[in-house]
Amino acid sequence: MLKSLKIEDYALIRNIYVEFGQGLNIITGETGAGKSILVDAMNLLIGERASTETVREGAQKAVVEGIFDVESTKRIENILKENQIEIFPELILRREISLKGSNRCFINDSPAPLSVVKELGDVLVDFHGQHEHQALLKPETHIDYLDAFSESEDLLRNYKWLYNALIKLKKELNELKGNKDSSNEKREIFLFQAKEIDAVSPELVEEEKLIEELKVLENSEKLLELTTSIYQGLYESENAVYDSLVKMRSSLTELSAIDKSFSESNKEFESVLAMIKDISEFLRDYNSKIDMEPDRLESIRERLSAINLLKKKYGGSINSILEFRKKIGEELGITQDSTEKITELENKIKTVAKNCADTAEKLYKNRRDGAKEMEEQVKEIMRYLGVTNASFNVKITHERADENDEDVIIIRDRPYKYYPKGYDTVEFFISTNKGESPKPLAKVASGGEVSRVMLTLKTILARNDRTPLLIFDEIDTGVSGPIAQKVGEAMRALTTYHQVIAITHLPQIAGMANHHYLVEKKTEEDRVVSSIRKLSNERRILEIAKLMSGEMITEASIKGAKELIRL
C-alpha cells in the first residue's frame, strides 16, 4: 500500500505531504483545484514520462516521492534483487525533474533506470482513469480482462514463448531461403571455377621446378654440343688438357726431387688433375643422360600455360589461386549446409507450430470456460449497480485461413490465423435494455454504463489481482443518485483485497471513505498553489454537504451528509 506521498515544486504544488491509510481513500475538491495534478504526480511516481514543463515556475526541479509498504511482496523483492537494489521493509520511489533536463529516478535512495521504476509501478499500482474508460471501448483490450478473470496467465505465457519462437524460426527460414535463392547463380559460378582450378590442381612450388626443367629441355641440343666439346677438350682428344697436364706432372715431380720447394706445388698440381678428371666425368655422365624428350617438353609448356591462365584469372600467383579455391570451397560448403539447415528448420517449425497450436487450443478452452462464468458474474453485479436488464456476453471468435497461407496454425485439422495472444479474438457485447440483443460494448454503452462495466470488471477480478493499490480517477462519471451509492459500496468492497484511492465528485461515494482528503487551491505570496489535507470527521461532513448542495450548505445537506457517512 501507499503510505505517504510527498510532492515539491510540481505544477501548482509548492510542497505537500500526505499520508494514506488502508481501505478506501477518497479525494475530493473543486474543479481546477489540482486533483488532476495530484493524479499526474502519482503517475509520474510509477514510471510515466516526465516533462520539464511540470516544474513549478521559479524552481529548479520538481520532486515526487512515495513510500510503499511492501514487506510481504515477493514480486517486489525479486525485482530489487535482479537490479541489485537494497531491500527495505518500505519501498521508497523518488522522481526528480530538473530544468537542466537531468531527470533522475531513485529506488530506496539508489539511482535506478526509469524502466525499473515502471516495472515496480506495474506491480504496485493499478491506475484507472478516463483513459481506461476509452481503453475499455477498444475490443483489443477485452482479451486481457478475460485472461485475468480466467487465470490464463500461465497458459498465455507458454503460448507467447512458442509464438515468439515460431516467428523467429520462420524469419530465419525466410532469410535462409532468400539467401539461398540469391546464391544459386553464385553457386554455379563457384562450381565452374572450382572445376577449372581442380582440373589443373597447381602446387605451391611447382611452377619454379617446371620453368627450370623447361629451360633445360629447350636447350638440350646446345647442352649436348657444349658438354661433348668440353669433355673432349679436357679428356678425350689427341691434345686433351688432361694428357698434357699428366706429362707436365712428371717434370714437376723431377723438380721436387731436386728441390723440395716444389713439393707444395706438386701437391696442388695433383689436385688440379683430380679436379679436371672429376669435371670430365661429370660432363660425360651429364652428356649421356641428355634426352630430347619432345613430348615432355610439350607437356611442360601446356602445364605452364594452364597455370598462367589461372594466375591471370585468380590473383597473379599460385598462392592466390589456392586461397581462392579454398574460399569458394567454403562457400560451396555453406550452400550445401544451408540446404540441410533449411530442412532442419522446416522440421523444427512443424514441431513448434504443433505445440503452439495445441497451447492455443488449451488457451481457448480455458477462456471459453472463464467467459461463461464471467458473463454470469458481470450480469449479477451490473444489476446490483442499477443496470437491471443487463445482458453481457463474451464473444470469442476465430478467423479461418487458407491452408496455403504461410502464417497459419492447424487446429482440429483446420487452418487458422494466429496472433501474439492466441488464435482467439475477444469482444464484450452488452445490452442494457430489455428485449434488445447484445451489441458491441463500444457502440451501445453510455459513459455511466462504461464506468459501471469497468467497476464490475475490477470487482470480479479483485480476488485474482495481486496489485496492492487501485487508483480510480473519477471512474464514477455518468452515475448519480442511488446508483452512485451502489458504486461507492462496490469500491468499498474492493478494499477487502486492495488499498483504494479514488477521486470523486459524488457525495454518495465520498461518504463511503475510510479516509477523506480535500484538494484546495489558494493564493500564497501572490501565486496560486494547490494543497491537500486529510479531513476530520466534522470537516468531512461539511465537505460532503457541499458536494450535495454546492457552496450554500444547508441543514438538510448536513443531515444528508451524516446519513451518508453512517452507511
> Which amino acid appears at position 147 of this protein?
D
479 within domain boundaries: yes
Mean pLDDT of 474-478: 72
Residue 394: per-residue pLDDT? 94
* Domain-located, residue 439: no
Contact at 8 Å (CB) between 503 and 27? yes
Asked whether residue 164 is domain-assigned, the answer is no
Residue type, 525: E
Q: How far apart are the C-alpha atoms of 24 and 515, rounded to whole Å?
A: 6
Instruction: Please give the grid coordinates belonging to residue 281.
Output: 666425368
| 173: its cell numbers | 527460414
User: Please, are residues 170 and 405 in contact by the beta-carbon 8 Å criterion?
Assistant: no
pLDDT of residue 446: 64
Same domain for 193 and 310, yes or no, is yes
How far apart CA 91 and CA 69 sit, in angstroms, is: 6
pLDDT score recorded for residue 101: 75
Tell me if 89 is assigned to some domain.
yes
Q: How many CB atoms lie within 10 A of CB 566?
A: 7
Whether 211 shows a pLDDT value over 90: the answer reads no
Q: Give whichever of 13-27, 268-282, 336-350 has the largest mean pLDDT.
A: 13-27
* Distances 344 to 236, 333, 453 between C-alpha atoms, Å: 81, 16, 50
The phi and psi torsions of 23 (rounded to 5 degrees) equal 90, -145
Higher pLDDT, 64 or 188: 64
Range of the domain at 506: 1-135+465-535
- Strand pairing class (13-19; 409-411): unpaired
On the question of pLDDT at 48 being above 90, the answer is no
CB-hemisphere CA count at 13 Å for 251?
5
pLDDT value at residue 243: 79
Report the half-sphere exposure of 342 (CA within 13 A, side-chain side): 14
pLDDT in tens, 222-231: 776 677 778 7
The helix (H) or strand (E) run that includes residue 26 is strand 24-29
Which of these, 27, 61, 175, lies nearest to 500 by C-alpha position? 27
Dihedral angle computed from the Cα positions of residues 360, 362, 363 and 364, in that order, rounded to the nearest 10 degrees: 90
pLDDT in tens, 253-305: 888 888 888 888 888 888 888 888 888 888 888 777 667 666 777 777 788 88
Which residue among 297, 332, 367 closes a domain? 332
Phi, psi for 517 (deg, rounded to 5): -125, 145
CATH of residue 14:
3.40.50.300
- For residue 68, the model assigns a pLDDT of 92
**199 and 123 within one domain:** no
Tell me, yes or no, whether 323 and 192 share the same domain.
Answer: yes
Rounded to whole angstroms, the Cα distance separating 152 from 363 reads 7
Q: What's the pLDDT at 179?
A: 65
| Predicted confidence (pLDDT) at residue 182 exceeds the cutoff of 60 | no
Q: How confident is the model at residue 93, as a pLDDT? A: 94
Pick from 425, 218, 191, 180: which is nearest to 304 by CA? 218
d(CA 27, CA 491): 13
The least confident of 130-144, 198-212, 312-326, 364-378 is 130-144
Q: Which of 16-30, 312-326, 432-446 has the highest mean pLDDT?
A: 16-30
The predicted pLDDT at position 265 comes to 84
| Cβ atoms of 8 and 75 closer than 8 Å | no
Task: Give the C-alpha separation, 46 to 93, whole Å.
Answer: 8
Among the listed ranges 64-68, 164-168, 224-228, which one has the minimum average pLDDT value? 224-228
pTM for the full predicted model: 0.64
* Domain annotation covers residue 350: no
Q: Give yes or no: residues 208 and 302 share one domain.
A: yes
Residues 99 and 215 in one domain: no
Work out the angle at residue 461's Cα, subtended by the Cα atoms of residues 459 and 466, and round it to the nearest 5 degrees: 115
Ranges 41-45, 334-338, 475-479, most confident: 41-45
Task: Report the C-alpha gap between 173 and 141 in whole angstroms.
Answer: 32
Q: Residues 239, 127: one domain?
A: no
- Tell me, what's the pLDDT at 167? 92
pLDDT band at 184 (very low <50, low <70, confident <90, very high): low
Report yes or no: 166 and 507 within 8 Å, Cβ to Cβ: no
Whose CA is closest to 424, among 378, 376, 359, 372?
359
Residues 101 and 198 in one domain: no
Average pLDDT over residues 89-116: 89
Among residues 281, 312, 332, which one ends one of the domains? Answer: 332
Q: For residue 447, what pLDDT is reported?
A: 63
Domain match, 115 and 250 both: no
Per-residue pLDDT averaged across 325-353, rounded? Answer: 79
Residue 214 has pLDDT above 80, yes or no: no
pLDDT confidence of 135, banded at 50, 70, 90?
A: low
Helices (H), 83-129: 114-124
Q: Could you tell me the pLDDT band of residue 567, with boundaries at 50, 70 and 90?
A: low
Average pLDDT, the chain: 84
Residue 90 pLDDT > 70: yes
Nearest to 421 by CA among 147, 21, 139: 147
Q: Which residues contact 138 (CB under 8 A, 6 or more apart)?
A: 442
Q: What is the pLDDT of residues 382-435, one digit of tens each?
A: 888 877 788 899 999 999 998 777 788 899 999 999 999 999 999 999 887 787
C-alpha grid cell for residue 409? 496454425
DSSP assignment string, 346-397:
HHHHHHHHHHHHHHHHHHHHHHHHHHHHHHHHHHHHHHHTT-TT-EEEEEEE
Question: pLDDT category, 185, cuts 50, 70, 90?
Answer: low
Rounded CA separation 441/445 (Å): 6
Query: What confidence tier does 66 reach under pLDDT thresholds 50, 70, 90?
Result: very high
Cβ atoms within 10 Å of 439's Cβ, excluding its own = 15
Assess whether 99 and 212 both reside in one domain. no
Q: Is the pLDDT of residue 514 over 90?
A: yes
Question: Is 441 domain-assigned?
Answer: no
Residues 6+ apart with CB under 8 A from 500: 23, 24, 25, 469, 470, 471, 472, 491, 494
In the chain, how many domains are there? Answer: 2
- 80 in the same domain as 5: yes
Sign of CA dihedral 20, 21, 24, 30: negative
Same-domain status, 104 and 8: yes
Residue 337 lies in a domain: no
The 10 Å CB-count burial string (b at 16+, else e) for 318-336 is: beebbebbeebeebbeebe
Residues 482-506 have pLDDT tens digits of 788 888 888 888 888 889 999 988 8
* Domain identity same for 112 and 192: no
Contact 152, 370 (CB under 8 A): yes
In this model, does residue 67 exceed pLDDT 60? yes
Give a yes or no: residue 238 inside a domain. yes
Domain boundary among 332, 347, 368: 332
- Lowest mean pLDDT of 74-83, 111-120, 413-422, name the range: 74-83
Which pLDDT score is estimated for 180?
A: 61
